[in-house]
Amino acid sequence: MLAPRVAWRSLLQAAEEAAPAAAIDAFASVLAERLNATQVAFLIADFSGQTLVPVGAYARGSWPEADRIGLADSPHGSVLRTQQAQLAREAGATRLLVPVTSRGDAIGVLELVLPGQASAETVAEVEAAGHLLAYVVIANRRHTDLYEWGQRTMPMSLAAEIQRRLLPAAYTCEASSFSLAGWLEPAGDVGGDTFDYSLDLDTLHLSITDAVGHDLDSAMLATLSVGSLRNSRRGGASLVEQARRLSDALHTNAQRGQFATGQLVEIDLHDGSARILNAGHPSPMLVRHDAATPIALAVDPPFGAIRDHPYRSQPLALTPGDRIVFVTDGFLERNAAGALVPHALVETRSLHPREAVQQLARAVLDAIDGELRDDATILCLDWYGTTPARRNVTSGADRSLASDDG
């Protein structure tokens, strides 16, 4: 049985003393020693959202590090989806799978083979170790490409590399008043889509953008767009000022005819009021009472389309229980996909945003036989309201949000 006051310090010390690329091995080695485990491995979710890949696996015995585990219909996939540990009895041993998660961002799965039958106390300690491992991964992936290598199951173009660097480090975030998740399904020729969010003490900031063009041209335009928005946001600029500065930046630095569509959102976490600015972008969808409808918005021109245009922010009504879904036109580019979206939004309503965005992307891909002409990007926000509440957290995820479906 782990002795928490000693084990947590030992696990952190081992990870800190090791090189960044060896931190997982060091962490797993101490965990295996404490629990007398015959196998310990960390499996990271790849960029496709379809498989888990062993990374820095430590094992006393053998462990097939090159093997990938599919998430569909597998115990590992169930653990990642439900954020609940699973145990399997084996001959004289227990195989234990626990989620590796931080604020709802499902990073991967920690897998152990323990002697005998694992007690409830041991399971709880390993769940806590999985949560701690999430922070070890987050801290060390800043210094090494090891985790990036593990998440890549196919080559990535230069344009895709640039585009990925523009996305937030975590695609999912949970707080007491909301959960959100984003997903980007890239086209063969990268289309310049991005999404972003930031959470401070008073405000949730969201953005979704779609730069015109493909490949390096769109990637560079997206870089300029995201850089401008982040610079303005971090300087305390209003939505209108953020839009003005971005439009000016495109007029000054981009080629003639280059522009970006997008939506900028601010939500006051104290009173629940929200504002949105729409620059030539497809309408967001409201999912309320098992119906999905477009949100009617006044539409300004895309960023960079008209010099000195007076952009407008407008109210965005939020009611506890609402789901707001922002998409780029890659989701709507063909009739089959566009007609599918409202139905798919209702069908995935019970899922956590983390699972919903991936299932929606897969549904659209299936509808168009996997042939994306443009990036398909989605940002899903579940709004719970402003009532102060503490998150019911187990292993990095809010247990009050968990269900059999996600």
Residue 391, pLDDT score: 67
In this prediction, residue 64 has a pLDDT band, given cuts at 50, 70 and 90, of: very low
The answer, yes or no, to whether residue 90 has pLDDT greater than 90, is no
End residue of a domain, out of 149, 170, 198: 149
The reply to whether 235 and 377 lie within a common domain is: yes
| Residue 49 backbone zone (phi > 0: left; psi -120 to 50: alpha; other: beta) | left
The reply to whether 168 and 307 lie within a common domain is: yes
Question: The domain containing residue 315 runs over which residues?
Answer: 156-401
406 belongs to a structural domain: no
In this prediction, residue 60 has a pLDDT band, given cuts at 50, 70 and 90, of: very low
Instruction: Tell which wins on pLDDT, 15 or 401.
Output: 15
Our count of domains for the chain comes to 2
End residue of a domain, out of 149, 171, 193: 149
Integer Cα distance of 338 and 349 in angstroms: 18
**DSSP of 323-370:** EEEEE-GGGTSSHHHHHHHHHHHHHTTTS-HHHHHHHHHHHHHHHTTT
Structure tokens at 221: 């335009």
The answer, yes or no, to whether residue 338 has pLDDT greater than 60, is no
Compute, in degrees rounded to 10, the torsion defined by CA atoms 197, 240, 269, 163: 0
Question: Residues 56, 110: contact at Cβ < 8 Å?
Answer: no
Integer Cα distance of 181 and 172 in angstroms: 4
The reply to whether 293 and 185 lie within a common domain is: yes
The answer, yes or no, to whether residue 113 has pLDDT greater than 80, is yes
Q: How far is CA 288 from the centre of its chain?
A: 23
Question: Residues 61, 49: contact at Cβ < 8 Å?
Answer: no
Instruction: Tell which wins on pLDDT, 341 or 347.
Output: 347
Question: Residues 86, 78: contact at Cβ < 8 Å?
Answer: yes
End residue of a domain, out of 100, 129, 149: 149
The reply to whether 187 and 92 lie within a common domain is: no
- Could you tell me which of 375, 343, 382 has the C-alpha nearest to residue 219? 375
Structure tokens at 59: 């094992």
Task: State percent of the chain over pLDDT 90.
Answer: 61
pLDDT in tens, 145-155: 888 888 887 77
Give the relative orientation of helices 239-253 and 215-234 as an angle to the nearest 10 degrees. 140
The reply to whether 34 and 172 lie within a common domain is: no
165 belongs to a structural domain: yes
Residue 61, pLDDT score: 40
CATH number of the domain where residue 230 is located: 3.60.40.10
The reply to whether 124 and 160 lie within a common domain is: no
Cα→Cα distances 31→14, 20, 114, 305, 397, Å: 10, 17, 11, 56, 22
The reply to whether 16 and 83 lie within a common domain is: yes
Q: Which residues pair with 294 in a beta bridge?
A: 285
